[in-house]
Amino acid sequence: VKMEDYEAFIGFDLYETALSSVAQKILSAMRSGDLVDSKNWEESTKTTKVTAKDKKNQPLETKNPNSLTSRASRGPIKLSSQSVTQLTGQMSADQVWKSVTSLAPCSSLIPQCNQKTSVLQQMEQKRKHCLKENMNNEHEQSMNLKRKNITCSSSPETTSKHMPLEKDSCEDDTCLNSEDSRAFRNQLCDVRYLDDLSKLQLMEVLNQAAGLVVTLLYKDGSTQLRDNQARTSSVKGIVMLLKSHIEEDSSSLSSPTCGGALEKNFNSTDRYIYIQTEHFFLWDQEQVAQHLFARRMLLQTLKCKCPVICFNAKNFVKAVLQFLGDDHGNWKQVADFVGLDPRIAAWLIDPSDAIPSFEDLVAKYLGKSIVDKTRSTCGNISQSIVNQNVCVNLKILYSLMMDLCSKLKVYGLWQLFCTLELPLIPILAVMENHKIQVNQEEMEKISALLGARLKELEQEAHFVAGEQFLITSNNQLREVLFGKLKLHLRNQRMHLPRTGLHQQPSTSEAVLNSLQDLHPLPKIILEYRQVHKIKSTFIDGLLACMKKGSVSSTWNQTGTVTGRLSAKHPNIQGISKHPIQISKPQTFKGKEEETVTISPRALFVSSKGHTFLAADFSQIELRILAHLSGDPELLKLFQESDRVDVFSTLTSQWKNIPVKHVTHADREQTKKVVYSVVYGAGYVTSIMGRRRPLPRICAQNQQLRAQAERQAVNFVVQGSAADLCKMAMIRIFAAVATSPTLTARLVAQIHDELLFEVEDTQVSEFAALVRGIMESLQQVQTLELQLQVPLKVNLSAGPSWGDLAPLQEAPNSA
Task: Give the footprint of DNA on this chain (CB under 7 A).
Answer: 10-14, 470, 472-476, 499-502, 504, 506-509, 512, 526, 529-530, 532-533, 536-537, 541, 544, 556, 559-562, 564, 566-571, 573-578, 672, 675-676, 678-680, 707, 710-711, 714-715, 718, 750-753
Smallest separation (angstroms) from DNA to the CB of 678: 7
User: With respect to DNA, which residue has the nearer C-beta, 57 or 560?
Assistant: 560
Q: Which candidate, 620, 604, 616, 567, places its Cα nearest to that of 757?
A: 604
For the CA atoms of the chain, what is the radius of gyration?
A: 30
Q: For residue 84, what are the CA distances in angstroms to 78, 91, 803?
A: 10, 12, 55
- How many contiguous H segments (helices) and E segments (strands) does the chain have? 32, 20
Q: Dihedral sign, CA of 713, 716, 719, 724?
A: negative
- The Cα–Cα gap between 778 and 728 comes to 11
User: With respect to DNA, which residue has the nearer C-beta, 10 or 143?
Assistant: 10
User: With respect to DNA, which residue has the nearer C-beta, 584 or 671?
Assistant: 671
Smallest separation (angstroms) from DNA to the CB of 576: 4
Contact 728, 754 (CB under 8 A): yes
Beta strands 308-310 and 211-218 are: parallel
Smallest separation (angstroms) from DNA to the CB of 31: 18
User: With respect to DNA, which residue has the nearer C-beta, 252 or 476?
Assistant: 476
Contacts of 241 (CB under 8 A, 6+ apart): 212, 213, 214, 270, 271, 272, 391, 394, 395, 398
User: With respect to DNA, which residue has the nearer C-beta, 117 or 669?
Assistant: 669
Phi-psi region of 792 (alpha: psi -120 to 50; beta: other; left: phi over 0): beta
Q: Dihedral sign, CA of 401, 406, 408, 411?
A: negative
Smallest separation (angstroms) from DNA to the CB of 755: 11
User: With respect to DNA, which residue has the nearer C-beta, 329 or 790?
Assistant: 790
Identify the three-state secondary structure at position 36.
coil
- The Cα–Cα gap between 357 and 348 comes to 15
Q: For residue 527, what are the CA distances in angstroms to 37, 111, 412, 450, 454?
A: 46, 53, 50, 11, 9
Smallest separation (angstroms) from DNA to the CB of 198: 46
User: With respect to DNA, which residue has the nearer C-beta, 166 or 479?
Assistant: 479
**Residue 709: how many CA atoms within 13 Å on its side-chain side?**
28
Burial label, 16 (beta-carbon count in 10 A; 0-12, 13-18, 19+): exposed
User: With respect to DNA, which residue has the nearer C-beta, 394 or 807?
Assistant: 807
- Rounded to 10 degrees, what is the CA torsion of 314, 318, 320, 324? 150
Smallest separation (angstroms) from DNA to the CB of 481: 10
User: With respect to DNA, which residue has the nearer C-beta, 165 or 572?
Assistant: 572
User: With respect to DNA, which residue has the nearer C-beta, 198 or 718?
Assistant: 718
Smallest separation (angstroms) from DNA to the CB of 561: 4
Beta strands 188-190 and 271-276 are: parallel
- The Cα–Cα gap between 401 and 91 comes to 9
Smallest separation (angstroms) from DNA to the CB of 9: 8
User: With respect to DNA, which residue has the nearer C-beta, 374 or 472?
Assistant: 472
Smallest separation (angstroms) from DNA to the CB of 650: 16
Contact 678, 717 (CB under 8 A): yes
User: With respect to DNA, which residue has the nearer C-beta, 276 or 718?
Assistant: 718
User: With respect to DNA, which residue has the nearer C-beta, 223 or 562?
Assistant: 562
Smallest separation (angstroms) from DNA to the CB of 406: 26
Residue 590 neighbours by CB distance under 10 Å: 7
**Residue 348: how many CA atoms within 13 Å on its side-chain side?**
28
Angle between helices 383-410 and 49-62 (to 10 degrees): 30
User: With respect to DNA, which residue has the nearer C-beta, 237 or 570?
Assistant: 570
Smallest separation (angstroms) from DNA to the CB of 337: 25
Smallest separation (angstroms) from DNA to the CB of 238: 28
Report residue 286 CA to chain centroid gap.
Answer: 40
Contact 14, 667 (CB under 8 A): no
Smallest separation (angstroms) from DNA to the CB of 615: 13
- The Cα–Cα gap between 576 and 571 comes to 11
Smallest separation (angstroms) from DNA to the CB of 572: 9
Query: Which contacts of 515-522 are long-range, i.e. CB under 8 A and separated by 24 or more positions?
Result: 515/481, 515/487, 515/488, 518/487, 518/490, 518/491, 519/464, 519/485, 519/487, 520/464, 521/461, 521/464, 521/465, 521/480, 521/481, 521/485, 522/481, 522/487
Report residue 17 CA to chain centroid gap.
Answer: 37
- The Cα–Cα gap between 598 and 621 comes to 29
Contact 776, 748 (CB under 8 A): no
Contact 369, 393 (CB under 8 A): no
748 - beta bridge partners?
Answer: 755
Smallest separation (angstroms) from DNA to the CB of 403: 25
Smallest separation (angstroms) from DNA to the CB of 17: 10
User: With respect to DNA, which residue has the nearer C-beta, 207 or 474?
Assistant: 474
Smallest separation (angstroms) from DNA to the CB of 293: 39
DSSP per-residue letters across 529-568: HHHHHIIIIIIIHHHHH-BTTEE-PEEESSS-SSS--EEE
User: With respect to DNA, which residue has the nearer C-beta, 335 or 620?
Assistant: 620
User: With respect to DNA, which residue has the nearer C-beta, 279 or 578?
Assistant: 578
User: With respect to DNA, which residue has the nearer C-beta, 97 or 715?
Assistant: 715
Smallest separation (angstroms) from DNA to the CB of 635: 21
